[in-house]
C-alpha cells in the first residue's frame, strides 16, 4: 500500500469518527427537522477567521450564536469575540474626517491630531478628499512623499485580504514608499538566510508524529505554542493541539524530556507539566555560548557533521575560547552571572543536549530584541554542534508555535488571492519613479525614524537606506498605533505628516491619529474564500456573509473601487468582476490546479457545503534532503552549507552584527544589566492569550474575562508586589522615561522576580494627544524602545525594555480607547 493510500484511509477513518461523534453538519440535516420546530437549517452559516472555522446562527439578520466547526477539536474562546467586534461600541460607523483637517487640509494644526474630534462626511466627500490628496502628493512632490504602510494581520480571506486592495488601488494611481520585513520575525528572517539558507521562520517543520516518535529531548526555547497556536495566518484548524495532548501524555509517563527555556513559566510549560529552565531575560546568548564552550571542551560535539555540512567553525572557536579581541573565554563561569544559571547547571544542560536525540524549537520573541539575530544564529550553531540537523526528531526549528507548522501538508493547492500588483501592461496614472535619492522601501520597524530623521541614510542588510520625508501615509489591515514601539516618539513623528488615511472596522488608536477614516466591513459582512490550514493545506473554506454591512461600512474592495473610479481605473482595478465572481474564480482556478491530484466539487456545491477537506499528507523531516546529499540539496546560503561564520556578513563591517554569533550587551537589561538600577523590571510584551494582537481587544465580552478594573492585566511576581505594597487587582502606574500606563496588577508565581508582563495589542488609549500623557488602558508600546535590532535587520526591539512600577494613588482616569471618536459639527 502506498503511503498516500494509507493516509487517505486514515483520513476517512478520522472523518467517519468525526461525523459519528459530533452533530451532523447542518447542511446535511434533513428538511423535516424544520417542521419539528427546532433549528432552521439555513440559519447556520459557515465562515472562518484566524481564530478558526465556525458555524454561525443568524436570526433576523443578526448574529445570534457562534460554534466551532465540527472538524476543529481544539477551538479557541476567541471566536466568541466575533459578536463583540460586530456589535461593539468601537465600530467605525461612518466616513469621518478630523475636525481641523476638514477645515484646513494639509495646513491643519497637526498638534490636534489624536484629540479624537471628527466630523461625519458622506462617502462621496470622503473618497473625493482621499483622491484629491493622492493627486496633490503626486503633483507637488512625487512617489517618495507617500507611504503605503506595510499591511499587518488584517483578516483572513483570499479575496478581501484588505492590504492587497490598498496596494493595488494606490499602485493604479502612482508609486509610493513601501516597507521591507515585518514585526514578527524581522531579525530572524534576515539572519537565517545567511546561516541556513531560508528564512526558516515561515517554513514547514518536521512533522509532529516524527517528533513524538523520535525526539528524546524537546526544548521549547522562548516559546509558548499552547498560547500561540490559537491563531493562524489563514483560517486556523488547531490540529497541532492533538499532538500536544500526546506530548503531555509522554511527559507524564517520563517517555520524553521536555524543557521550556524561558524566564517565565509559560502556558505551555503549565499545560505539559514539563521542566522549566529559567534564564535571565535577554541573556540567552551567554547561556548558549557557555553550552557551546562545554560541548567543545568536553568533546561532546559532532566533528564529522561540522566537517561535512558547515563552514567556519574554526573561525568561531577562538571567540569561544577567548582568543580574540575581547580575551574572554565563554565558560559557564563567565556566563553564570549574566544569564542567572549556575555554571554547574549550564554544564548539565549541555551534557543533557548532547546525550540524546535533541530537537530545539525556538519561538520568536527572543529575536524581537536588540541583537535579536544572535540567539537565532547561535541556535543553528548549537544544533550543528549536536550534529542532528536533518535527522528525524533532531535539529532546530523556528516555527513550530505558528499556524500549525508541523502538521504535515496535504499537498493540495490553495486558492490564490486578489492581486496586490498591477496586471501586466497596466500602468499607474502617475508613472513617476523619481524618488529623488530617497529609498523606495524602508525597514518596516523604522517608520517613525524615517519621519524624525528624514533624509538620513542608514545601514540595512548590506545596503543603504535613505529615509524619505514622507508627507502622507495610508494604513489598512494594521494597527500602527499598537504595533510600533515607543508611541510617544511616534506622536512627535506623526506631526510631520500632512495627511493620514486609515481604513478599519474598529476605531483603533490608528483611526484616532488619522485625518480621514473610512469604515471597512468586518470579514463577517462579506463573502469570501479561505485556505483552511496555513501550512497543512487541510482544506478550503467558504466564508459566508453572516450579516449585511452595518452602518455605512463597505468592503475594502468597494472602497478602493470607488477611489479608482475617480481616476478612471475602476474596471482595470477589479478586472470587471464583482465579489461573488471573484470568489468563484478563485475557487475554480484552485479546482483546476488540483485536478488529477484531488477532486473538488463544483463551486455551487462547495458554496452550499461550506468546505472541502483534503487528506493528511506524509510525515516529513526538515533538512533531511540536505543531510542526505548536501551538494544536490545545497542550502540557499552563499556557500550552500550551514554558515557558522558568514564571510558576507563579516564583509559589511557592522559593529553590532559580525561574522559569527556573539554576545553584545543590550541598551537596557534587567538583573544587573544596563539601566536596571533605575528601572528594575524587565517588561515582556508577549502575544496575548485571548486576542490576536489588538484584534478582539475591542470585544468587551472577551475583554471582561481578563481585564482588571477595566484595564489591561499587568502580571508580576507576588514578592516584588509585596515590596511595593501592591496587591492583586490594584491599579498600578508602570513607567519609564518613554511613557506611562495605568494597568491592573495580577500577581502570579509564573513570573520570577524582576520580570513583568504586559501583553501586546492592548489598545493604546492616551489620556490626550500630548506627548507623554498617561495611557489609560495599557498598551506596552507606550513604554518600549524604538531602535533597530542591528544594522543588519533594523528590526523591532520590543523585548528590550525596562520599567518601574508603583501603586496608583487617587482618582483614576477612565479608559478612553474603546468608545470611538468625539463627533463634532463641521467648523
Summarize as ranges the residues that interact with ligand MGD (CB under 6 A). Answer: 152-155, 160, 162, 183-184, 221-224, 227-228, 230-231, 261-264, 266, 279, 281-282, 284, 363-366, 368, 401-402, 476-479, 482-483, 503-506, 508, 520, 523, 556, 684-689, 691-695, 760-761, 780-781, 784, 798-799
Closest CB to ligand MGD among 594 and 796?
796
Q: How far is the CB of 816 from Mo ion (least distance, A)?
A: 27
Provide the residue count of the chain. Answer: 827
Strands 499-504 and 472-476: what pairing? parallel
Q: How far is the CB of 694 from Mo ion (least distance, A)?
A: 12
Distance CA 94, CA 131 (A): 18
Q: Which of the choices Mo ion, ligand MGD, none does residue 795 contact, using the CB cut-off of 5 to 8 A by kind?
A: none
Closest CB to ligand MGD among 454 and 667?
667
Q: How far is the CB of 233 from Mo ion (least distance, A)?
A: 9
Site string for Mo ion, 117-156 (x = CB under 5 A): ----------------------------------------
Q: Rounded to 5, what percent of the chain is helix, strand, coil?
A: 35, 20, 50
Closest CB to ligand MGD among 281 and 395?
281
Closest CB to ligand MGD among 227 and 471?
227
Q: How far is the CB of 709 from ligand MGD (least distance, A)?
A: 22
The answer to whether the CB of 640 falls within 8 A of the CB of 632 is no
Q: Which of the choices ligand MGD, Mo ion, none does residue 695 contact, using the CB cut-off of 5 to 8 A by kind?
A: ligand MGD
Q: Is 34 exposed, middle or buried (0-12, 13-18, 19+ CB in 10 A)?
A: middle
Non-local (6+) Cβ contacts of 487 within 8 A are 481, 739, 764, 766, 775, 779, 781, 782
Distance CA 452, CA 796 (A): 17
Minimal CA–CA distance to 79: which of 96, 58, 55?
Answer: 55
Q: How far is the CB of 795 from Mo ion (least distance, A)?
A: 11
Which residues, 315 to 354, sit near Mo ion by CB under 5 A?
A: none
Q: Which of the choices Mo ion, ligand MGD, none does residue 479 contact, using the CB cut-off of 5 to 8 A by kind?
A: ligand MGD
Distance CA 741, CA 487 (A): 12
Closest CB to ligand MGD among 228 and 488?
228
Q: Which of the choices Mo ion, ligand MGD, none does residue 354 contact, using the CB cut-off of 5 to 8 A by kind?
A: none
Tell me the three state secondary structure of residue 198.
coil
Closest CB to ligand MGD among 461 and 482?
482
Distance CA 162, CA 152 (A): 10
Q: Which of the choices ligand MGD, Mo ion, none does residue 261 contact, using the CB cut-off of 5 to 8 A by kind?
A: ligand MGD
The answer to whether the CB of 684 falls within 8 A of the CB of 281 is yes
Q: How far is the CB of 3 from ligand MGD (least distance, A)?
A: 31
Interface with Mo ion: number of residues (CB under 5 A):
1
Closest CB to ligand MGD among 349 and 364?
364
Q: How far is the CB of 109 from ligand MGD (least distance, A)?
A: 26
Q: What is the largest CA-CA distance in the chain?
A: 84
Residue 125: CA atoms inside 13 Å, Cβ hemisphere, count? Answer: 11
Q: How far is the CB of 183 from Mo ion (least distance, A)?
A: 6
Angle among Cα 241, 244, 247 to the nearest 5 degrees reads 160
The kind and range of the H/E element at 448 are helix 447-452
* DSSP summary character for residue 693: T
Angle among Cα 255, 261, 267 to the nearest 5 degrees reads 80
Q: How far is the CB of 508 from ligand MGD (least distance, A)?
A: 5
Distance CA 301, CA 285 (A): 18
Residue nearest to Mo ion (CB): 184
The answer to whether the CB of 146 falls within 8 A of the CB of 174 is yes
Q: How far is the CB of 696 from ligand MGD (least distance, A)?
A: 9
Which residues, 177 to 196, sit near Mo ion by CB under 5 A?
A: 184
Q: How far is the CB of 231 from ligand MGD (least distance, A)?
A: 4
Q: How far is the CB of 759 from ligand MGD (least distance, A)?
A: 8
Non-local (6+) Cβ contacts of 421 within 8 A are 167, 168, 171
Tell me the three state secondary structure of residue 14.
helix
Q: Which of the choices Mo ion, ligand MGD, none does residue 368 contact, using the CB cut-off of 5 to 8 A by kind?
A: ligand MGD
Q: At what angle do helices 123-140 and 162-173 cross, to 10 degrees?
A: 50
Residue 736 sits in the site that holds Mo ion (CB under 5 A): no
Closest CB to Mo ion among 176 and 447?
447
Say how far residue 713 (Cα) sits from the centre of its chain.
Answer: 21
- Whole-angstrom Cα Rg for the chain: 27
Distance CA 247, CA 235 (A): 24
Q: How far is the CB of 35 from ligand MGD (least distance, A)?
A: 39
Q: Which of the choices Mo ion, ligand MGD, none does residue 162 contact, using the CB cut-off of 5 to 8 A by kind?
A: ligand MGD
Closest CB to Mo ion among 184 and 223?
184
Residue 247 in grid coordinates: 506530548
Distance CA 388, CA 627 (A): 9
Q: How far is the CB of 238 from Mo ion (least distance, A)?
A: 18
Which residues, 212 to 271, sit near Mo ion by CB under 5 A?
A: none
Q: Which of the choices ligand MGD, Mo ion, none does residue 227 contact, using the CB cut-off of 5 to 8 A by kind?
A: ligand MGD
Residue 430 bridge partners (DSSP): 174
Closest CB to ligand MGD among 527 and 694?
694
Closest CB to Mo ion among 184 and 374?
184
Closest CB to ligand MGD among 12 and 580?
580
Q: How far is the CB of 500 from Mo ion (least distance, A)?
A: 23
* DSSP summary character for residue 315: H
Residue 519 bridge partners (DSSP): 504
- Neighbour order of strands in the sheet with 395-397: 275-277, 257-261, 217-221, 358-362, 395-397
The kind and range of the H/E element at 285 are helix 284-297
Closest CB to Mo ion among 115 and 760?
760
Which residues, 689 to 728, sit near Mo ion by CB under 5 A?
A: none
Alpha helix positions (H), 22-151? 32-35, 81-86, 99-104, 123-140
Q: Which of the choices ligand MGD, Mo ion, none does residue 230 contact, using the CB cut-off of 5 to 8 A by kind?
A: ligand MGD
Q: How far is the CB of 628 from ligand MGD (least distance, A)?
A: 30
Q: What does the H/E/C string look like for 763-805?
A: CCCECCCCCCCCECCCCHHHCCCCCCCCCCCCCCCCCCCEEEE
Closest CB to ligand MGD among 121 and 261?
261
Distance CA 801, CA 679 (A): 9
Closest CB to Mo ion among 184 and 784?
184
Residue 48 bridge partners (DSSP): 53
Q: Which of the choices ligand MGD, Mo ion, none does residue 450 contact, using the CB cut-off of 5 to 8 A by kind?
A: none
Closest CB to ligand MGD among 26 and 369?
369
Please report, as ranges, the residues that interact with Mo ion according to CB under 5 A: 184
Amino acid at each position: 500500500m502506498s503511503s498516500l493510500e494509507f493516509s487517505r484511509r486514515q483520513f476517512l477513518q478520522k472523518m467517519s469518527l468525526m461525523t459519528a461523534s459530533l452533530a451532523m453538519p447542518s447542511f446535511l440535516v434533513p428538511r423535516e427537522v424544520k417542521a419539528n420546530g427546532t433549528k432552521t437549517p439555513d440559519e447556520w452559516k459557515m465562515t472562518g477567521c484566524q481564530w478558526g472555522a465556525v458555524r454561525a446562527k443568524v436570526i433576523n439578520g443578526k448574529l445570534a450564536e457562534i460554534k466551532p466547526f465540527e472538524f476543529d477539536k481544539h477551538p479557541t474562546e476567541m471566536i466568541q469575540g466575533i459578536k463583540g467586534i460586530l456589535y461593539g461600541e468601537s465600530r467605525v460607523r461612518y466616513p469621518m474626517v478630523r475636525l481641523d483637517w476638514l477645515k484646513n487640509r494639509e495646513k491643519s494644526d497637526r498638534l490636534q491630531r489624536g484629540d479624537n474630534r471628527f466630523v461625519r462626511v458622506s462617502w462621496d466627500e470622503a473618497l473625493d478628499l482621499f483622491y484629491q490628496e493622492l493627486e496633490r502628493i503626486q503633483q507637488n512632490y512625487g512617489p517618495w512623499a507617500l507611504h503605503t504602510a506595510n499591511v499587518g494581520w488584517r483578516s483572513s480571506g483570499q479575496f478581501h485580504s484588505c492590504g492587497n486592495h490598498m496596494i493595488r488601488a494606490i499602485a493604479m494611481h502612482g508609486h509610493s514608499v513601501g516597507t521591507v520585513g515585518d514585526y514578527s520575525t524581522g531579525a530572524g528572517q534576515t539572519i537565517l538566510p545567511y546561516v541556513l539558507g531560508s528564512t526558516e521562520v515561515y517554513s514547514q517543520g518536521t512533522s509532529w508524529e516524527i517528533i513524538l516518535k523520535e525526539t528524546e529531548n524537546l526544548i521549547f526555547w522562548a516559546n509558548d505554542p499552547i498560547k500561540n497556536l490559537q491563531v493562524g495566518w489563514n483560517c486556523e484548524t488547531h490540529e497541532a493541539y492533538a499532538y500536544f495532548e500526546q506530548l503531555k501524555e509522554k511527559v507524564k509517563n517520563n517517555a520524553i524530556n521536555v524543557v521550556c527555556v524561558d524566564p517565565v513559566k509559560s502556558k505551555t510549560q503549565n499545560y505539559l507539566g514539563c521542566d522549566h529552565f529559567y534564564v535571565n531575560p535577554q541573556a540567552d546568548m551567554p547561556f548558549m555560548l557557555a553550552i557551546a564552550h562545554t560541548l567543545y571542551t568536553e568533546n561532546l560535539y559532532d566533528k564529522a557533521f561540522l566537517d561535512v555540512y558547515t563552514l567556519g567553525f574554526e573561525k568561531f572557536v577562538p571567540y569561544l575560547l577567548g582568543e580574540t579581541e575581547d580575551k574572554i573565554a565563554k565558560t559557564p563561569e563567565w556566563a553564570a552571572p549574566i544569564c542567572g544559571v549556575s555554571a554547574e547547571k549550564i554544564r548539565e544542560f549541555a551534557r543533557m543536549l548532547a546525550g540524546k536525540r535533541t530537537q530545539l524549537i525556538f519561538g520568536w520573541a527572543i529575536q524581537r530584541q536588540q541583537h535579536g539575530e544572535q540567539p537565532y544564529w547561535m541556535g543553528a550553531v548549537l544544533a550543528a554542534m549536536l550534529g542532528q540537523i536533518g535527522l528525524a526528531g533532531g535539529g532546530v526549528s523556528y516555527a513550530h508555535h505558528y499556524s500549525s507548522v508541523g502538521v504535515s501538508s496535504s499537498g493540495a493547492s490553495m486558492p490564490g488571492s486578489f492581486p496586490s500588483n498591477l496586471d501586466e501592461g497596466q500602468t499607474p496614472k502617475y508613472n513617476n519613479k523619481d524618488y529623488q535619492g530617497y529609498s523606495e522601501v524602508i525597514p518596516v520597524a523604522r517608520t517613525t525614524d524615517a519621519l524624525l530623521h528624514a533624509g538620513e541614510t542608514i545601514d540595512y542588510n548590506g545596503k543603504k537606506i535613505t529615509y524619505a520625508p514622507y508627507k502622507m501615509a495610508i494604513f489598512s489591515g494594521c494597527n500602527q498605533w499598537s504595533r510600533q514601539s515607543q508611541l510617544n516618539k511616534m506622536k512627535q513623528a506623526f506631526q510631520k505628516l500632512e495627511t493620514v488615511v486609515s481604513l478599519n472596522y474598529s476605531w483603533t488608536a490608528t483611526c484616532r491619529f488619522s485625518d480621514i477614516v473610512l469604515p471597512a466591513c468586518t470579514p463577517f459582512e462579506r463573502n469570501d474564500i479561505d485556505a483552511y490550514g496555513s501550512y497543512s493545506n487541510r482544506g478550503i473554506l467558504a466564508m459566508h456573509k453572516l450579516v449585511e454591512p452595518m452602518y455605512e461600512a463597505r468592503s475594502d474592495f468597494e472602497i478602493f473601487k470607488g477611489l479608482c473610479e475617480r481616476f478612471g481605473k475602476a474596471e482595470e482595478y477589479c478586472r470587471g468582476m464583482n465579489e461573488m465572481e471573484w470568489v468563484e474564480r478563485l475557487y475554480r482556478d484552485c479546482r483546476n490546479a488540483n485536478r488529477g491530484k484531488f477532486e473538488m466539487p463544483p463551486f455551487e456545491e462547495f458554496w452550499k457545503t461550506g468546505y472541502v477537506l483534503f487528506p493528511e499528507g506524509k510525515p516529513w523531516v526538515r533538512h533531511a534532503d540536505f543531510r542526505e546529499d548536501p551538494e544536490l540539496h545545497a542550502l540557499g546560503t552563499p556557500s550552500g552549507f550551514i554558515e557558522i561564520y558568514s564571510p558576507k556578513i563579516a564583509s559589511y563591517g557592522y559593529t553590532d552584527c559580525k561574522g559569527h554569533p556573539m554576545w553584545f550587551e543590550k541598551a537596557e537589561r534587567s538583573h544587573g544589566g544596563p539601566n536596571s538600577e533605575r528601572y528594575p523590571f524587565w517588561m515582556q510584551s508577549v502575544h496575548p492569550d485571548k486576542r490576536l494582537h489588538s484584534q478582539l481587544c475591542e470585544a468587551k465580552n472577551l475583554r471582561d474575562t481578563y481585564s482588571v478594573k477595566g484595564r489591561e492585566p499587568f502580571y508580576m511576581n507576588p514578592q516584588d508586589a509585596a515590596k511595593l505594597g501592591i496587591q492583586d487587582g490594584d491599579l498600578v502606574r508602570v513607567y519609564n522615561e518613554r511613557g506611562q500606563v495605568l494597568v491592573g496588577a495580577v500577581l502570579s508565581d509564573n513570573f520570577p522576580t524582576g520580570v513583568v508582563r504586559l501583553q501586546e495589542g492592548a489598545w493604546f488609549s492616551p489620556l490626550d494627544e500630548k506627548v507623554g500623557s498617561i495611557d489609560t488602558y495599557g498598551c506596552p508600546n507606550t513604554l518600549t524602545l524604538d531602535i533597530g535590532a542591528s544594522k543588519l535587520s533594523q528590526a523591532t526591539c520590543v523585548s528590550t525594555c525596562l520599567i518601574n512600577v508603583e501603586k496608583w494613588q487617587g482618582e483614576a482616569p477612565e479608559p478612553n480607547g474603546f468608545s470611538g471618536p468625539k463627533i463634532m459639527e463641521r467648523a
